[in-house]
Amino acid sequence: MAELQEVQITEEKPLLPGQTPEAAKEAELAARILLDQGQTHSVETPYGSVTFTVFGTPKPKRPAILTYHDVGLNYKSCFQPLFQFGDMQEIIQNFVRVHVDAPGMEEGAAVFPLGYQYPSLDQLADMIPCILQYLNFSTIIGVGVGAGAYILSRYALNHPDTVEGLVLINIDPNAKGWMDWAAHKLTGLTSSISEMILGHLFSQEELSGNSELIQKYRNIITHAPNLDNIELYWNSYNNRRDLNFERGGDITLKCPVMLVVGDQAPHEDAVVECNSKLDPTQTSFLKMADSGGQPQLTQPGKLTEAFKYFLQGMGYMASSCMTRLSRSRTASLTSAASIDGNRSRSRTLSQSSESGTLSSGPPGHTMEVSC
C-alpha cells in the first residue's frame, strides 16, 4: 500500500484570529456598503477642477454610465431616486457609473470668488475627456438632464467614437432667441434666482400644487450654501450656443439616443423639436405622462424600464430578466422581424397612465403595447 501523505488545506479566505463567521459576514457587508457609497475624485482640466463620483468596478468590454445633472441640482439630488430604484439594481450591477458634478455644484463646494469666470457649457463638455483619461475609460453611455443633456450632446458631437448611447432628459438644443432673452430679463426683475430655476425644473402645475417633492427641492435650492455658484451655472446655461442639429446633415448624434420628457414639462416643445432634427433610425422618443418636469424623480420605475430596453436594444443585458415592456414588444415584433429580418432602433414611445398602454414603432407606424 502506498504511503499516505499528510496534506494541509488552507482556507482561501481565512477568518481573522478570534473572528466568528457572523463577524466575517458583517465585515463583508460593511465593505460592500462602503463600495456602494462610491469613491469621489477631482481632476484638473484646462477650465478648472471637476469632481465626480465612481460606483462599482469597470466591466470588460462595457462602457461606463456617465451622468450629468441639471441646473440647481447635483448628482445626488438629480439622480439618486432613479439609481436607487429597486429595478435599477440589475442595470447598475452590470455597469460602472460615473456621476459628474458641475464645478461648484458638489456637496461642500466653496463659493467661487467675485468675478470668477464660470465655464461655458461647451467648456464643461470639454472637461469630460479629462475624466475618462483619469479613469482610463474608453466609452460611455451618457445620461443627462437639462443642462447636463446639452453638455453630453456637445461632448458626443465632438467625440462621437467614445459615446455608445445617450439618454437625454429635457434637452433644449437651441440657443436663446431675442424673445427668450426679453422674457428671461423680465422674469429676473420680479423673481429670485431660486424661483427662476424652479420654473426651469418643474411645470407650473407642479409649482402651484406645492407637493412634498416641490417643497423639498424649493428648500434645497433656496437654502443652498452655494447658490452663487448655482447662479453661475444658470447663466452659462442661458448663454448656450445652438447645437445646430439637422436631420440628414453632418451635425447630428451618431449613436442611439433616447429622448425623454414629461407631458407637461417646461421643455416639452424643445424636446419634440429636437426629436424632429435627429436621425429617426437612431432615436427613441419617450413622452411620459404624470411625470412633470423631472421624470427621473417622479417616475423612476417607468424610466428604468425604458432604460433597460434601450440598453437591450444596444446589445447589452440580453440575458437579463425582460421587463413587461420588453416582453410585450418582443411578442408584437415577432411577425415583423420574420419579414425583414432586421431590427431597427427607430421607435417612438409614449406612455399614458390613463390607457395603461405604450405605443411604439418606427415613424408612420403606431403599435399599442400593454405595459
pLDDT at 287 over 90: yes
The answer to whether residue 338 sits within a structural domain is no
Across the range 150-173, mean pLDDT stands at 97
26-50 pLDDT, tens digit each: 555 444 444 456 899 999 999 999 9
What is the residue whose three cell numbers read 478648472?
Answer: 48
- Work out whether the CA dihedral 306, 309, 314, 316 comes out positive or negative: positive
Q: Is residue 122 domain-resident?
A: yes
Question: How would residue 341 be classed by pLDDT, with cut points 50, 70 and 90?
Answer: very low
Angle of helix 147-158 relative to helix 121-135, nearest 10 degrees, comes to 70
Supply the pLDDT for residue 263.
86
pLDDT tens for each residue of 231-258: 999 999 999 999 999 998 889 999 999 9
Confidence band of 179 (pLDDT split at 50, 70, 90): low
Q: How many CB atoms lie within 10 A of CB 304?
A: 21
| Closest listed residue to residue 59, CA positions, set 25, 95, 89, 83 | 95
Tens digit of each residue's pLDDT (9 = 90 or more) over 111-124: 999 999 999 999 99
Residues sharing a CB contact under 8 Å with residue 352, sequence separation 6 or more, in sequence order: 289, 358
CATH number at residue 267: 3.40.50.1820
Whether 368 is covered by a domain: the verdict is no
**Residue 366 scores a pLDDT above 60:** no
Q: Is the pLDDT of residue 78 over 60?
A: yes
CA 136 to chain centre: 21
Flag whether pLDDT at 323 surpasses 70: no
User: What is the per-residue pLDDT for 107?
Assistant: 93
pLDDT value at residue 264: 84
Place of cell 437625454: 168
Whether the CB-CB separation of 256 and 165 falls below 8 Å is answered with yes
Strands 97-101 and 140-145: what pairing? unpaired
What's the pLDDT score for residue 234?
97
Where in the sequence is the domain holding 249, given as residue range(s)? 32-313
C-alpha cell at 231: 447662479
**Amino acid identity of 109?**
A
Give the model's pLDDT for residue 317.
Answer: 82
Highest mean pLDDT among 3-12, 185-194, 209-218, 324-333 belongs to: 209-218
CA distances from 9 to 5, 49, 153 (A): 13, 51, 56
Query: Which helix or strand (DSSP H or E) is residue 40 part of?
Result: strand 39-45
Q: Work out the mean pLDDT of the chain and round it to a whole number.
A: 81
DSSP for residue 160: G
pLDDT of residue 340: 38
Name the region of 110 (left: φ>0; alpha: ψ -120 to 50; beta: rest): beta
- In a domain, residue 268? The reply is yes
Could you give the CA distance from residue 230 to residue 221 in angstroms, rounded to a whole number? 9
Do the domain assignments include residue 325? Answer: no
pLDDT in the model for residue 344? 41
Are the C-beta atoms of 81 and 297 separated by less than 8 Å? Answer: yes
Q: For residue 20, give the 3-state DSSP assignment.
A: coil
Q: Is the pLDDT of residue 11 over 60?
A: no
155 inside domain: yes
User: How many angstroms separate the Cα of 271 from the Cα of each of 123, 219, 255, 342?
Assistant: 23, 28, 17, 28
Span 157-166, pLDDT tens digits: 999 999 999 9
Question: Do the domain assignments include residue 15?
Answer: no
Is residue 193, in this structure, part of any structural domain at all?
yes
- pLDDT band at residue 181 using 50, 70 and 90 as cut-offs: low
Look up residue 91 and give its amino acid. I
Number of structural domains, the chain?
1
